[in-house]
Structure 1
Amino acid sequence: MLTARGHGTRVTLVHALRHADGLRAVSAKTAGETVALLEYLLAVCYASTRCPTTRDEWLGWVRDGTPLTGAADWLDGRPDEHWDLFHPTEPLGQNALLAPYLDEHGAGPAQLVIEHAGDYNQFFDHHHLEHPTPLPADAAFRAMLTQHAYGPGGRARMPGKETLGPTLTNLAAGRLSTRIRVVALGTTLGDTLRLNLVPTAEDPGRFNRTWTVAPEPRRGFLTKPSGRRVDGPADLNTVLGRSILLRPTVTEDGTPAVDRVLMAAGELLEPLGHHRTQDAVYDGEGAGSADAKPLRPSATKALWREAHALYAAVADRTHGPDLYDRLALLRGRRLSLWAVGLIAKQTTVVTWVSDTFPFVPGRERDMRYAAERGSLIADHVAAWLFKAAYVAWTVTYPNPKPGDKDRQIARFDARPEHWAHTAEPFHTLLDETTAAGTEERVDAALVAYAAELADCARRFLGNRLDSLPANSRGMRARAQAVRCLESGLTGRTAPDELKEDRE
């Protein structure tokens, strides 16, 4: 079961595909869980072979709104036992080989939910994972899909040497856990799925329904195996990145649920080629090179600050066929690009990050220019806010202790307020750029954006400096810091948009 926006209710996978154009979207508790659901629906489309095989056919599907009923029929025609989350030997998405160890070594359902598990070096003391509160079966299914796609690296709780083998504890990072995943959003669920289907004439490959059913033996756990090659798009979207087993129970009101979970190492893959990561975005330095790595989510840099790389992926037409190459064919149509990432500090999950960016095919160069200039202006303002804070510090603390320096400078550093505020005007800039008809209007939008950032930077710095004492040293620190910021916003090295605002 999944939650679909549009009907505002839970629906089955079959219903979601059969009525995809009557549903606005699928929705989950986190951005990553929503992506995992979309990937699973795409996998069903691939496995059914009812999907476009060429770029031109894909374009026809998108423009004509070709129904996804063929995929729904394929799924509806499979035996019910193939989709049983609690099947004794072929549990959906799970590894039944863990069954003998589930009761003794399993943990509470919190272990299944990425953001609830905490540190994935799970040999540490994790009392919170023992909490037995059942998790509804539909929520457990969605959390399982998210683990397969996004599970962080680490060490599993169960003792490998006493169970299936010593490498059972080695949790590899999921295929999406270290990069930003970009989804093209349409007006309906059906539109979104069609936009993101990769047209291909190759065999869809295995649909990884369960660990114990596969065209070739899956990895063992006595030694670390080499990664296996993905054999098609259905295989890619259903890779079992974790060995998972769920113990069924029933809640007081009769709802199917899970009360115990065992989780360990899953499948390992060979490095994925470009044709397997067609939504990947690369930064300016790495783009185009053979060893380029997709952009990673950052704990210190918001996704909107990487928007220029997203638009560059569409504007540069030298990287071969991919998602952005196809989206460029939809000239004149406004779309949204949804970027999602998981931030983890070593083996500890920090948070999900996501952002949505407007895109109009045919306007990609203007979008890239606005995003690049917008990021440059924001970086410039931030740099001078720090310099102003440094000036205030040198005057206020003439004889500081080395260990106090960072804390003392932070007192006057208004960059946190600047970054928190800038996201909204940056998105306004992008919206105005998509609506602009001329370069002059784009330039005017950039000047207005720069003016807002400069005005707010002056206010943010002033608020920080209000803590200075009302004496000669405090007044001197304020005056020099304000003068420093002003010279940075209007000086020779300032972006033209900032200087134009003062003319």
Structure 2
Amino acid sequence: MPAPQYATDREPCIPVLFLNGRQEYLGWRDVLLNAHLIQDLALPLPPAASGVLRLLVAMAARVSGLDAQAEGRMTARQWAQRRRDLLKNPAGFDPDAVHDYFDRYIWDLFHPQRPFLQDPRLAAQCEKRAGVNKLVFGRPEGNNLSWLSVHTDTDPQPVPSEQALWHLLIHHYYGAAGQCSARTVDGRSLANAKAGPLRSTLSFHPLGRTLYETLLAGMPKPSRLWPDVEDRCPWEEPLPVPDPDPDPAPDSGPDPDAAPPPVSSPGRLLTGRSRHAVLLIPSADGRQVTDAYLTWATQKKLPALDPYLIHHVHTGRNVTQRHTARPADADRALWRDLDALLLAGDEDGRKRRTGKAGPAYSVQRPDAFTTLNDLPPDLRAALRVRVYGFDQDDKTLNRTWYTALTSPIWPWTQEHDPAAAERIAECRKAAEEIGGHLDTVSKSAWSQVTSPAGAKTGRQPRHLPSWTHTARTLYWPRAETTFWALLDDTARPARAAFTADAVHALRTATRPAIAQHFRAAEAIAHAVADLRGHRP
């Protein structure tokens, strides 16, 4: 029986939506060949789509000549002109360039020497397999209870190979930190993994009218700031040279104490910063994955600023800790991040995290958005933003993933309409400040009502009171409606509008308590007065 194979460049593994409304699964090669006919990706898992889009941008940079090697051949102006020329091509990427690129590398998920985005040495370096349930996000594994899934570790079910590829990407980009399968390298055994480079982040991608436009619009521009090294994606690395003397047993895995290759763009930046190592175990025909090894790939951090993340810049910190990515929060509406995308540089100003004391920071727009002004005017006017979020903690807890899509927002940017951008920033800041003050006065009112008579109430409650939770839930949807209305009614004061929303939310949330608690009416009246008189 032939060895199992699953060539991801040709097998139907990436779901896409064509312009005519047809949905189809394609391999990497066909996705690029048909990018000008595809409207968008159609992956059902947002973190997998985030990873797929990064891989496709790196591949598109290679086949279009807009990759890191272009820096030595053209100036920034020539690079921008080259991209504009490509965007005018109705036929998309050059088919010969696409085939030439994919014919050079190995894309097979189960190749014995170079399985795609995997490390074949794990079979010898790991004593235990992690199990297919550990590979697939959402399945219970180990001693965890099966709350919302029919899967159990006593009867693990195989996963189709295309879905295994999606979860493989999620582990590479959003993988957990902490205990993992032990891996022995050079006689040293470690069982601790570091968090993936995108863990708990919110990813913003310029979205064109076709996938072809999306890939070119979101492509990071080469810069002389990147190290002068050969930029390689994992599948572009040379195959290992066979050892003529395989005795003793090979143990030439990555040294956990060795520094990894420096990050370069776009290959290593977008595809080569994983800190997890995976090896999939296929079924006999290669159509399914039945088991997997899952462990650490490197113990070293690969610092770099991902071009699709909003970064908070803390100027008072050490240079290696100065930039932190804005975390994903499923409870936070997308419009609250609009000004960070629309304002150039650090025009968002210095501010503090909502509800927390601490050092001030400025906001840095995603680097992929800095070159959008060079795009043709018709594309800029139609450009939207696709958002992928994975709400996680820093270690192992996965809460939920989500995606969102904006309307065309680029005409509102500071470069094109400074007044609109500043109005958006003003309204967003006012909404945040009033929302934070609503939390404070509702907590204080709750403490006054529920504390024994005469007790001191200056200390905030340890847990979020029901009044605060309900008021917050009522406030933010109303605030979003008010936000969009204020963009059209520029003469209306933003603070007064959001204050009215906060007062309505507080009164609605506490109305049942007035009949239940003797002191509730007075405490709520004081809270409402505090809201109306609040000043920054």
TM-score range, shorter chain: 0.7 to 0.9
2:480 to 406, 421, 426: 426
Hey, what does 1:187 align to over in structure 2?
209
1:205 to 231, 237, 242: 231
Q: 2-side partners of 1:257 and 1:16: how far apart? A: 22
2:343 to 295, 312, 317: 312
**Structure 1 counterpart SS, 2:438:** helix
What displacement does 1:286 show?
4.7
1:168/1:221 contact within 8 Å kept: no
Is the aligned partner of 1:2 residue 2:14?
yes
**Closer, same or farther: CA 115–236 of 1 in aligned 2, 3 Å:** farther
**Closer, same or farther: CA 429–402 of 1 in aligned 2, 3 Å:** closer
* Structure 1 unmatched ranges of 5 or more: 119-123, 496-503
Per-residue CA shift, 1:398-429, capped at 9, x if unaligned?
A: 3499999838971432x444346525753773
Instruction: Show the 5 A alignment for 1:77-476.
Output: 78-79=102-103, 82-100=106-124, 105-116=128-139, 125=143, 128=152, 131-157=155-181, 159-161=182-184, 165-166=187-188, 168-177=190-199, 179-200=201-222, 205-209=231-235, 213=239, 220-221=253-254, 223-239=256-272, 240-249=274-283, 256-267=287-298, 271-273=302-304, 277-283=306-312, 285-286=314-315, 292-297=322-327, 299=329, 302=332, 304=334, 305-313=336-344, 316=347, 322-330=367-375, 333-348=381-396, 349-358=398-407, 359-361=409-411, 363-364=413-414, 365=418, 366-399=420-453, 406=461, 410-413=465-468, 415-419=469-473, 422-423=476-477, 425-426=479-480, 429=483, 433=487, 441-444=489-492, 447=494, 451=497, 454-455=500-501, 457-469=503-515, 474=518, 476=519
Q: 1-side partners of 2:54 and 2:252: how far apart? A: 23
Q: 2-side partners of 1:288 and 1:76: how far apart? A: 46
Question: What amino acid is aligned across from residue 195 of structure 1 in structure 2?
Answer: A
**Closer, same or farther: CA 203–10 of 1 in aligned 2, 3 Å:** farther
2:66 to 51, 60, 74: 51
2:391/2:401 contact within 8 Å kept: yes
Q: 1-side partners of 2:94 and 2:473: how far apart? A: 47
1:47/1:204 contact within 8 Å kept: no
**Structure 2 counterpart SS, 1:160:** strand
Question: What amino acid is aligned across from residue 282 of structure 1 in structure 2?
Answer: H
**Closer, same or farther: CA 167–324 of 1 in aligned 2, 3 Å:** farther
Hey, what does 1:121 align to over in structure 2?
none
**Closer, same or farther: CA 140–345 of 1 in aligned 2, 3 Å:** same
Q: 2-side partners of 1:255 and 1:320: how far apart? A: 43
**Closer, same or farther: CA 455–99 of 1 in aligned 2, 3 Å:** closer
1:3/1:11 contact within 8 Å kept: yes
Q: 1-side partners of 2:364 and 2:535: how far apart? A: 33
Q: 2-side partners of 1:224 and 1:398: how far apart? A: 58
2:201/2:391 contact within 8 Å kept: no
Hey, what does 1:478 align to over in structure 2?
521
What displacement does 1:176 show?
1.9
Q: 2-side partners of 1:180 and 1:194: how far apart? A: 21
**Closer, same or farther: CA 223–489 of 1 in aligned 2, 3 Å:** closer
Question: What amino acid is aligned across from residue 226 of structure 1 in structure 2?
Answer: A
Q: 2-side partners of 1:478 and 1:9: how far apart? A: 59
**Structure 1 counterpart SS, 2:29:** helix
1:328/1:362 contact within 8 Å kept: no
Aligned residues between the structures: 467
TM value normalised by structure 1: 0.77
- Please state which structure has a larger fraction of its residues in helix: 1
Q: 2-side partners of 1:442 and 1:198: how far apart? A: 35
**Closer, same or farther: CA 409–22 of 1 in aligned 2, 3 Å:** closer
Point out the more displaced range, 329-338 or 423-432.
Answer: 423-432
Q: 2-side partners of 1:402 and 1:354: how far apart? A: 44
Q: 2-side partners of 1:431 and 1:82: how far apart? A: 53
Per-residue CA shift, 1:18-67, capped at 9, x if unaligned?
A: 11121111122222111101111112123335337444225514752565
Q: 2-side partners of 1:264 and 1:309: how far apart? A: 36
Question: What amino acid is aligned across from residue 410 of structure 2 in structure 1?
Answer: V
Q: 2-side partners of 1:195 and 1:377: how far apart? A: 31
Per-residue CA shift, 1:314-345, capped at 9, x if unaligned?
A: 67599899423212345661422334343333
Point out the more displaced range, 285-294 or 131-140.
Answer: 285-294
TM value normalised by structure 2: 0.73
What displacement does 1:115 show?
4.8
**Closer, same or farther: CA 270–345 of 1 in aligned 2, 3 Å:** closer
Hey, what does 1:20 align to over in structure 2?
35
1:207/1:234 contact within 8 Å kept: yes
What displacement does 1:117 show?
6.6
Q: 1-side partners of 2:401 and 2:454: how far apart? A: 39
1:167/1:265 contact within 8 Å kept: no
What displacement does 1:461 show?
3.0
**Closer, same or farther: CA 469–303 of 1 in aligned 2, 3 Å:** closer
Q: 2-side partners of 1:400 and 1:111: how far apart? A: 54
Hey, what does 2:354 align to over in structure 1?
none
What displacement does 1:79 show?
4.3
Q: 2-side partners of 1:89 and 1:342: how far apart? A: 32
What displacement does 1:246 show?
0.7
**Closer, same or farther: CA 39–222 of 1 in aligned 2, 3 Å:** closer
Q: 1-side partners of 2:265 and 2:58: how far apart? A: 10
2:390/2:402 contact within 8 Å kept: yes
Q: 1-side partners of 2:92 and 2:318: how far apart? A: 37
What displacement does 1:466 show?
0.6
